[in-house]
Copies of this chain bind each other. A is one copy, B any other.
Amino acid sequence: MGTRKSTLEEVAAAAGVSKMTASRALRGTSDVSKDTREKVLLAAERLSYVGNRLALSLSSQRTNLVAVVVPSMSNIVFPEVLTGISVGLEGSGMQAVFGISDYDVAKERDIIRDMLSWQPAAIIVTGLDQPEDTVRMLQKATIPVIQIMDLDGTPVDFNVGLSHGKAGEDMARALLAAGRRRLGYVGSALDRDLRAGKRKAGFERVLKQNGLAFVEQQIDSAFSSIALGKRLTDTLLAAVPDLDCIYYSNDDMATGGLFACMELGLPVPQRILIAGFNGLDLANALPTRIATSRSPRRMIGEVAAKLAREAIAEPDGEQPKTIVFTPEISGISGP
């Protein structure tokens, strides 16, 4: 530990120049003679000087912060989004600051308020379903607001993602085209994971158009996991053993479903088709392939970050307001 933190003033004194010259030398801006630059750099080095960004940002009226709010870290999907954001920000000098809302709108509001108080240059939030007061705060911030992952709703400003309603519809059509007729559903935490709910609703719309409906469903209030998917699948199949397909709220749940079927000795996909959502690496490495729609989550993060950079650089630029991704379905073989 030891000595007190050194300030720019001390570096300047040590180098025998004014605060301003030291500042310029350290930032490499404008014209500073090579000689003095070196003196300043040396002094900074010797004092282990670390600039104070609070002062820098307060004084210059800008920060290098991009605030990011995601609902969870427990599902690998959001860390992957964050990785994409980090990559998209790389080389820009911008720094992502993450907050976790735990799928809780009140917590989300508080986190957003807290993040805004750091005067970020842009903010990236997950989803489009913030309550009115949160939306008002975001609008008032007068910075680029980028809502990601979901497209089904009204964005505050920029929007990068996919339509979960359509993803559900597409999967339903693909499964019907593959000849499946007795379908079940397994999901979890639908009251909080609104995007999973939108996929289910889309799926059910197509079923209805075809004069069908889920034969049976199992929904739990806990968050998704492989273990939960396994358990709910066992329950579902105990009630209705002759399903020929189960749609899951996501790949974690579907993987659990696959493991349940393997233990029951049900051939997948011949006897029963397992369909999830996300296209996790896990899903593609499984001994038996499951059907899934691949959400380009890393790319969504990267694109959102780049959009943020552009919008910061050119506040009145002609950036696209909405960037649409379409998930690709895989793992369904013909009927």
Which A residues contact B (CB, under 8 angstroms)? 1-5, 48, 50-58, 63, 73-74, 76, 78-80, 82-83, 86, 95-100, 113-114, 116-119, 136-137, 139-142, 157, 225-227, 230, 255-256, 259, 262-263, 281-282, 284-287
Contact = CB atoms under 8 A, between A and B. Distances in A.
A1 B82 CA distance: 26
B80 A95 contact: no
A277 B315 CA distance: 48
B52 A117 contact: yes
9 residue pairs, one from A and one from B, having the closest CB atoms = A226-B285, A73-B79, A53-B117, A79-B79, A48-B140, A54-B58, A1-B142, A73-B83, A227-B285
Contacts of A137: 48, 50
Contacts of A282: 226, 282
Per assembly, the copies of the chain total 2
A50 B281 contact: no
Contacts of A157: 1
Contacts of A99: 95
Nearest to A63: B54
B225 A139 contact: no
Contact of A119 (B52, B95, B230, B286): B52
Contacts of A80: 73-74
15 contacts: A2-B142, A4-B142, A48-B137, A50-B113, A51-B117, A53-B117, A53-B118, A54-B118, A78-B79, A95-B99, A95-B114, A97-B97, A98-B98, A259-B287, A263-B287
A83 B157 CA distance: 29
Nearest to A139: B1
Given A73-B80, A74-B79, A53 B119 contact: yes
Contacts of A118: 53-54
Contacts of A5: 140-142
A181 to B, nearest CB: 28
Contacts of A255: 285
B2 A139 contact: yes
A70 B118 CA distance: 22
